[in-house]
Chains A and B, each alone.
Chain A
Amino acid sequence: MTERRELTFEDVLRNAGVQEAQDRLRRLEPDPATLPGAVPPGREASPEPSPPEGGCGSGSCGCGKSAPSNTLMDKPMDRRRAIGTMLGALAVTTQAAGACAPTSLESAEGREAKRLKQEEFFKGNYRLMTPGEKGETVRRLERLAELRGQGDVSIRTDEALPNVMYGYAFNISKCKGFRNCVDACIEENNLDRASGDQYIRIFEKPDGESIDDLEHADATYGHEVPAEGHYYLGTQCFQCANPPCVYVCPVQATWQEPDGIVVVDYDWCIGCRYCIAACPYWARRFNWAEPEVPAEDLNPRQHYLGNRTRKKGVVEKCTFCIQRSREGRLPACAEACPTGARVFGNLLDPDSEIRWVLENKQVFRLKEDLGTEPRFWYFMD
């Protein structure tokens, strides 16, 4: 018999054929086009969409939607819109000179993109929107994504599930520092690739060092893990019950949803970064430049408060994958972890795994003395 070395992960992939695995997955996973809120099938996402003949209002384009009929002039005016219209001339002029660039200034699509952006500019805080307004803004955002060539993007506005409060437990005995969670989060949440943005930090700490002491913790390791004499601990946003970041926002662009997730309305944020200064767990990130996700990596299943495309100058953070958890699915980090170190569930359900962990394991939280009441516990086997 020939010498045969043990199968490694690479062999597994090669043997199975990653293409084959992906085919297999495509057979198992539902077609995103069949999900509610998705673009109807038959519409291919092309990188250079040509303007439909006759313009968008002619009904000749294949998207199946008629052109939005409510221009700025037709909208019923209230005080905010009236003042906003007066500010509009200045804003649009400076905006045109600024960073936003429609696909083509001459084309109908460029004009449509500009109009959509103008309408987006004057909308209010998401939390105060009526369901109708939420639907409108999502339609505008999806249309803008379509004009950018991301035709399969669907943005959901799922409300919090009733009787749900999310909790998270992290097993520091099980975590081996593999960082699958970090990568999964980046893929799922459309994080900017260029700047290396990550919501999750995995720290390698020497054995014997207290969990609350991160002085000698190293998150930049590249060696094989688990390393002798070390243990691993991950941080991300803990969705605190008493969140300092929510209190300090001057415009209430960040708030806590009824299911416990602390969310950000990216379009309402003014980018003052006071919340970043206020967070004791370094959980919030700022888009210092325009975030870029390659088209082939963009996750099209998005939520307005979660992984939709952000813009430069606004704050973002982990939302326990709001686009997944409100569908009953695990967050990407919990799903991707190979060791099962991450436990996620509903704290209000007395028979959930998270409740069992809290009641039967020795759990602790970071910086307990600050009184932020994070909903993220650490435990050991």
Chain B
Amino acid sequence: MHLKWFVLSAFKSATTGGRRYHLWMGALTFVMLLGAYGYWVQLREGLAVTGMNDHVSWGLYISNFTFLVGMAAAAVMLVLPAYVLEDVDFTRAVLIAEGVAVSALVMCLAFVVVDLGNPFASWHLIPGIGILNWPRSMLAWDVVVLNGYLGLNLFIPFYILYNHYIGAKPSKARYVPWVYLSVFWAVSIHLVTAFLMAGLPARPFWNHGLLGPRFLASAFTAGTAFMILLLWFVDKETEYDIEAGAFRKLAMVTAVAAQVNLIMLGSEIFTEFYFPTHHVQSAQYLFFGLDGYDQLVPWIRTAIVLNVGATAVLMIHPLREHRNWLLGACMVLFVAVWVEKGMGLIVPGFIPSPLGEIVEYSPTWVEVVVTAGIWAMGLFILTALVKVALPIELGHLRSPLISQAASRPSGPTKSRVRPRL
């Protein structure tokens, strides 16, 4: 059966490669093992080995989770033009974007699981055998939408790749409806994640209407920046060519999103500091420090400076067209948004506590190691997915059963070919 060969070929493709490929995967595996050790320590001792406490009860894990949901949502920036608008520039790039979405979602789910205090009880979330507090709890919504989006992003590329693998033409009628759904769904995963914070009256730093739109803006900034970097790498290092138009359009999207993000930041800062009330003590803590506690101030200020600088570069047309400037700006934006959306959003929400007490937060080695391990896992999955997708798209990898089926339309090659990259 074709499916069996698909799985076998995919496995073979993902495990075969040059020296650099194996070094990369080996390094990622090593980091993953370190992360696994850190997580084992955490399971054994409890979350006391992290830097979190009753005041700052979410830290590095949920920061990364928030950031990565945005990354997953950003795939829509390629899915929409590729499938709905049928822009030819994006046809080759979109599968890679969906691979990014899948690996980002797996990372998100992993970050949630490592953040749980009682992970073995997570079967309590399964409706039917447990209780899922839907629709009241936004976290229940998040569980539903993230898994749904993961399913969509597994199904659509799988359908297309599988059809290419067997030398058939994927039928638009069968996957385009799901694509439409995934476009709306992508926006919703990040809005739901924003709502789970914005809906809390106890946290005035989050409890405002701009959090959702700000999440989307920063997601489309960092996510598309990452896509540009990844696509450039693929374009340069493999036979798989990405159209120049894709880069140009993605750069435009990144530039616009980055500007919108900065406008929203400006709006927040104005509203908070024009006439400061007690509700803006968290913002005070973040940007200026509070009562001598100012651990996050250098982080957020650096992030804003980087953000502004990179946005300025992207706004200048000749620089945006220049590949090195574009790549530099994208890297800087990615880091700046990671800081601003991760530690710059989650941690200040808890400082000061609802009763006015200030307790600062620093991640411990366990959190850092586990976070690195999960990032390594995500990159590992992404690399494996791309390593499987590219040969199929390039036509090198086809089902060996094709030549045996006379009535099937043939692909570029009829004989069994070993995948090469």
Touch test A–B (CB under 8 Å): yes
A positions within 8 Å CB-CB of B: 79-80, 83-84, 87, 91, 94-95, 98-99, 121, 124-125, 128, 195, 201, 203, 213-217, 219, 235, 244, 247-253, 267-274, 276-282, 285-290, 311-315, 367, 370-372
The contact sample of 26 A-B pairs, CB cut-off 8 A, is: A79-B129, A98-B44, A99-B44, A125-B130, A201-B355, A214-B355, A214-B356, A250-B139, A270-B116, A270-B122, A271-B119, A271-B121, A273-B58, A277-B203, A277-B349, A279-B354, A287-B46, A288-B47, A288-B48, A288-B50, A288-B54, A290-B46, A312-B47, A312-B48, A313-B46, A313-B117
Number of cross-chain contacts by CB at 8 Å: 170
Bound CA–CA A370/B199 (angstroms): 12
B positions within 8 Å CB-CB of A: 43-48, 50, 52-55, 57-58, 112, 115-125, 128-133, 136-140, 143, 196-197, 199-203, 278, 281, 349-350, 352-357
Main SS of chain A's interface residues? loop
Kindly list the 5 A-B residue pairs having the minimum CB-CB distance in the complex, ordered from nearest: A271-B117, A313-B117, A214-B356, A289-B48, A280-B202
Please, which residue of chain A has its CB at the minimum distance from the CB of B203?
A277
Bound CA–CA A289/B54 (angstroms): 12
Main SS of chain B's interface residues? loop
Which B residues are in CB contact (< 8 Å) with A282? 54-55, 353-355, 357
Which B residues are in CB contact (< 8 Å) with A311? 118
Which A residues are in CB contact (< 8 Å) with B139? 248, 250, 272, 274
The answer to whether A250 and B140 have CB atoms under 8 Å apart is: yes
The answer to whether A250 and B119 have CB atoms under 8 Å apart is: no
The answer to whether A276 and B57 have CB atoms under 8 Å apart is: yes
Shortest CB-to-CB span from A241 to chain B, Å, is 15
The answer to whether A288 and B133 have CB atoms under 8 Å apart is: no
The answer to whether B58 and A277 have CB atoms under 8 Å apart is: yes
Which B residues are in CB contact (< 8 Å) with A314? 117-118
Which B residues are in CB contact (< 8 Å) with A269? 117-118, 121
Shortest CB-to-CB span from A100 to chain B, Å, is 10
Given contacts A280-B354, A281-B354, contact A95 B58 (CB under 8 A): no
Which B residues are in CB contact (< 8 Å) with A280? 201-202, 354
Bound CA–CA A165/B124 (angstroms): 30
Bound CA–CA A97/B278 (angstroms): 48
Which B residues are in CB contact (< 8 Å) with A215? 278, 281, 352, 356
Bound CA–CA A280/B353 (angstroms): 9
Which B residues are in CB contact (< 8 Å) with A267? 121
Which A residues are in CB contact (< 8 Å) with B133? 249-252
The answer to whether A286 and B137 have CB atoms under 8 Å apart is: no
Seed contacts A251-B124, A278-B202, A290-B46; 4 additional CB < 8 Å A-B pairs: A250-B125, A271-B118, A277-B349, A288-B117
Bound CA–CA A42/B154 (angstroms): 63
Which B residues are in CB contact (< 8 Å) with A94? 120
The answer to whether A268 and B124 have CB atoms under 8 Å apart is: yes
Which A residues are in CB contact (< 8 Å) with B44? 98-99
Given contacts A247-B137, A271-B116, A273-B58, contact A370 B128 (CB under 8 A): no
Bound CA–CA A121/B201 (angstroms): 34
The answer to whether A281 and B355 have CB atoms under 8 Å apart is: yes
Shortest CB-to-CB span from A73 to chain B, Å, is 19
Partner of B125, one of A124, A270, A273: A270
Bound CA–CA A247/B356 (angstroms): 24
The answer to whether B120 and A121 have CB atoms under 8 Å apart is: yes
Given contacts A94-B120, A99-B44, contact A277 B136 (CB under 8 A): no
The answer to whether B200 and A250 have CB atoms under 8 Å apart is: no
Partner of A250, one of B45, B55, B137, B349: B137
Which A residues are in CB contact (< 8 Å) with B137? 247-250, 274
